[in-house]
Each structure stands twice: as C-alpha cells, then as structure tokens.
Chains A and B, each alone.
Chain A
Amino acid sequence: QKEVEQDPGPLSVPEGAIVSLNCTYSNSAFQYFMWYRQYSRKGPELLMYTYSSGNKEDGRFTAQVDKSSKYISLFIRDSQPSDSATYLCAMSRSNDYKLSFGAGTTVTVRA
C-alpha cells in the first residue's frame, strides 16, 4: 500500500466551479503538508504549504489538514482555465528533506 494515496482523476469542471482535491496518508509522523501544481511538460511548483492540522487560505486556494483522519484537501474557488494542471499532494516528517508524493490529480477547467 502506498504511503500517500491520491485519486488521479482526471477531473473536468466548468469555469467558475469549485475544485476539490484530496489525499489520504498512512504515516502519522508526517508534519508538513504541501500541494504542488504541475503544468504540462513542466516541473512541479509549490502552491500551498501547511504545518500540522488546520486551514490555510491564499487567494482562491484553501488547504485543509485533518491529522486525526490522515486526510488533506485543496479547494480552488472560482476556477479558471489557467488552473488546468496536475495537482500533487506531498508531505514530510519534521526536519526531513524527503517528501512523499501522491500520484497527482489532473484537473481541466473548461471555458
């Protein structure tokens, strides 16, 4: 069983819809939770960064972490065609460079 599970989709939504993405994990030692965005034929780039449980909001993006359920989510409000990308969740233990990534969910926002 993978340490981090993420539904690969694909997910197709109309412009303006709310996109909901999530990952589950099995390692209770994970303390840092991230979402990376990867455009086609490009490298991933850090989108959201959260430490431990709670919510974090940045513009149209909200990241949620529920450590008790080992579940993290990313919400994209008022989605735009420019949000079309693959979204990868990632997590790590404290003071550990090594990240565990989910498989990535491919999102298409239709104009």
Chain B
Amino acid sequence: NAGVTQTPKFQVLKTGQSMTLQCAQDMNHEYMSWYRQDPGMGLRLIHYSVGAGITDQGEVPNGYNVSRSTTEDFPLRLLSAAPSQTSVYFCASSYSMPRGKTGELFFGEGSRLTVL
C-alpha cells in the first residue's frame, strides 16, 4: 500500500499564479483533509471531506478550493497564489467514525510551496 500520496513535493510559484496540489489515498478512507504547517503555528485545517461529493471549510479556507469526485482523490487548488500561502501542505485521511478513531489521521509526506 502506498498510503497517502502527495504531488508535487516541491513547487515555486509567482504571485497570482494558480496551481493544484494532488492527494490520493489507497486505503479506502472516507475522510480526507488538507492542513498547512507554518513555523510556530502548528497544523491548521484548510478544507476537509467526509465522502465523495461532500466538502467543508476548516480554520483557514480563504484562497483555496477543493472538490471530491472520488473516494481516492482530494485535490487542493490555489486560485491566485500569494506570498502568505508559502507553507508546507499536508493531506491526511482516515476512516469515518465509528470505524475509525477520532483523530487517527494518516498523513502524506507534504508538499512544500514557495510563492514569490
């Protein structure tokens, strides 16, 4: 099993450009989410999905879009990149409750984004 796979691992953008961070999981997890990690801030939830066709906003959703057309994939789109979006982005997934334990997330290895 590959687990949670994120691409690309590294990306440099110019202000105003758009891009999509890809996330795929092969564990048949219903729940998928995107976090960003910044120094001193911990992990902050951007968007999440409890199943195909269902998405919701997290703590810091502005400037990002998501969609969930399949169970396996949960792409994160940056609409118009800003320097404040320079961060490390993590995709995480888990089984829905009650099959999964609350908070037992499986993370990808991260996508490091720099916006100039």
* A42-B109, A43-B4 known; A49 vs B43 contact (CB < 8 Å): no
Of the candidates B40, B97, B107, the one whose C-beta lies within 8 Å of that of A44 is B107
Q: Does B75 contact A (CB under 8 A)?
A: no
CB proximity of B96 to chain A, nearest CB, Å:
8
Q: Does B113 contact A (CB under 8 A)?
A: no
Q: Does B71 contact A (CB under 8 A)?
A: no
State whether A43 touches B109 (Cβ < 8 A): yes
* CB-based A-B contact count at 8 angstroms: 65
State whether B48 touches A98 (Cβ < 8 A): yes
Stretch at the interface among B13-21, B62-70, B77-85, B98-106: B98-106
Within 8 A of B (CB), among A72-111: 88, 90-92, 94-99, 101-104
Interface residues on A, range: 20 to 34
State whether B4 touches A94 (Cβ < 8 A): no
Within 8 A of B (CB), among A31-48: 31-32, 34, 41-46
* A103 partner residues in chain B, CB cutoff 8 A: 40-42
CB proximity of A56 to chain B, nearest CB, Å:
13
* A32-B102, A97-B102 known; A4 vs B107 contact (CB < 8 Å): no
State whether B40 touches A96 (Cβ < 8 A): no
* A45 partner residues in chain B, CB cutoff 8 A: 107
Q: Does B25 contact A (CB under 8 A)?
A: no
* B45 partner residues in chain A, CB cutoff 8 A: 98-99
20 new A-B contacts, CB < 8 A, other than A8-B40, A103-B40, A103-B42, are: A2-B42, A6-B42, A32-B101, A32-B102, A41-B110, A43-B92, A43-B110, A44-B90, A45-B107, A46-B105, A49-B104, A90-B103, A92-B103, A95-B102, A96-B102, A97-B33, A98-B48, A99-B43, A99-B105, A104-B42
Name B residues whose Cβ lies closer than 8 Å to a Cβ of A. Answer: 4, 31, 33, 40-45, 48, 50, 58, 90, 92, 94, 97, 101-105, 107-110
